[in-house]
Amino acid sequence: MVKGWLQNTDPTQLQQLLEERTADLQRVKAEYDNYRKRVHRDRMAVRGIAVANVLRALLPVLDAVDRTCAHEPMTPGLKDITDTCRTQLGSLGLEAFGREGDPFDPACHEAVVHHISPDTDRLICTEILRRGYRLRDQLLRPVHVEVTGPPPLARNQLGHDRQEPHDDAEAHTERAGPSTATPHSPLTAPRRSLRK
């Protein structure tokens, strides 16, 4: 029956039919290729999130190893544990960062202590209190640092408000000046007893 249908069909119609089916096949193949790429990309993203979560959970272990290395003599066993941790976690893309002398960057540093030095015009990390870690280009944890730099007022005049390591309450007090609350202000009013 198919042979009879093919024999009775005009060659131009057959050519047109072949081109339509070929176009359909190419479209289905392109959709399948896109689907495969999308699934692969989603799997890699899920894998990256899982690796980041596991590494983030292991950071306290690395902190404990660092503290132990700083306060205990380096025994062969401790050296083996340290080297294995760094090698295996490094193979997953984990990278420690932060050195004394680095310029303070609020995107990857967290200032815990600020030493004022009028001789400097910018904040410098003078001591690393806790290492920071990256997973390739993703920040897992900022570096905790002590910084040395100009007083906050000098930084404000230079337009570096974002680099102020002191808390917002102090910054608000410096800008706002003394409190102007009145005796009837709800902040200064005495508490009244609820009993009658």
Give the pLDDT confidence of 38-93 residue by residue, as tens digits. 999 999 999 999 999 999 999 999 999 999 998 989 899 999 999 999 999 999 99
Is the per-residue pLDDT at 24 higher than 50?
Answer: yes
In the structure encoding, which two tokens stand for residue 35, read together?
A: 């689907």
Q: In this predicted structure, what is the pLDDT of residue 179?
A: 36
Q: In this predicted structure, what is the pLDDT of residue 100?
A: 92
Q: In this predicted structure, what is the pLDDT of residue 130?
A: 93
Provide the β-strand partners of residue 148.
115, 124
Phi-psi region of 151 (alpha: psi -120 to 50; beta: other; left: phi over 0): beta
When the pLDDT of each residue in the chain is averaged and rounded to a whole number, the result is 79
User: Between 11-71 and 76-91, two packed helices, what is the crossing angle to 10 degrees?
Assistant: 160
Q: In this predicted structure, what is the pLDDT of residue 186?
A: 37
Which helix (H) or strand (E) segment holds residue 46: the answer is: helix 11-71
**Mean pLDDT computed over 14-27:** 91
Distance of CA 193 to the CA centre of its chain: 49
Reported residue count of the chain is 196
Q: In this predicted structure, what is the pLDDT of residue 117?
A: 87
Give Cβ neighbours of residue 47 (< 8 Å, ≥ 6 apart): none
What stretches of the chain adopt beta strand conformation (E)? Answer: 94-97, 109-116, 124-130, 132-135, 138-141, 143-149
Is the per-residue pLDDT at 125 higher than 50?
Answer: yes
% of the chain beyond a pLDDT of 70 = 73
Q: In this predicted structure, what is the pLDDT of residue 42?
A: 95
Per CATH, the architecture of 95-176 is what? Roll (2.30)
- The DSSP line for 124-139 is EEEEEEE-EEEETTEE
Q: In this predicted structure, what is the pLDDT of residue 172?
A: 38
* Spatial distance between the Cα atoms of 136 and 103, rounded to a whole number of angstroms: 21
How many Cβ atoms from other residues are within 10 Å of residue 124's Cβ? 17
Q: In this predicted structure, what is the pLDDT of residue 185?
A: 36
For 149-174, what is each residue's pLDDT tens digit? 988 764 444 455 544 444 443 443 33
* Spatial distance between the Cα atoms of 91 and 143, rounded to a whole number of angstroms: 21
- The DSSP line for 148-170 is EES-HHHHHHHT-GGG--S-HHH
Whether the model pTM is above 0.85: no
Q: In this predicted structure, what is the pLDDT of residue 6?
A: 54
